[in-house]
Amino acid sequence: MSTMNISLPDTLKAFVDEQVVGRGYGTSSEYVRELIRKDQDRQRLRGLLLDGAESAPGAPADDDYFEGLRARARRAA
């Protein structure tokens, strides 16, 4: 694992310390790692949403579509 040092103003450092204590993190590093993972997830989701928005329209989700899903679920059960 690599190490990264960051400088924070006192107000941000105090906020991080409060989050560590109040939310049960062991260290400030754990808190920052979770923030980074959440940002990665957010960016991944944004990419998927943009890909979907740029893709060709699919079949409509009408009554027939949902009945087909129900039939598949019944067969799988």
Predicted structure pTM score: 0.70
Q: Label residue 27 by pLDDT band (50, 70, 90).
A: very high
Residue with tokens 């980074």: 36
Judged against a pLDDT cut of 90, whether residue 4 lies above it is answered with: yes
Judged against a pLDDT cut of 90, whether residue 59 lies above it is answered with: no
Average pLDDT, stretch 20-29?
Answer: 97
Helices (H), 1-77: 10-22, 28-54, 63-76
Q: Label residue 30 by pLDDT band (50, 70, 90).
A: very high
Task: Specify the amino acid at residue 68.
Answer: G
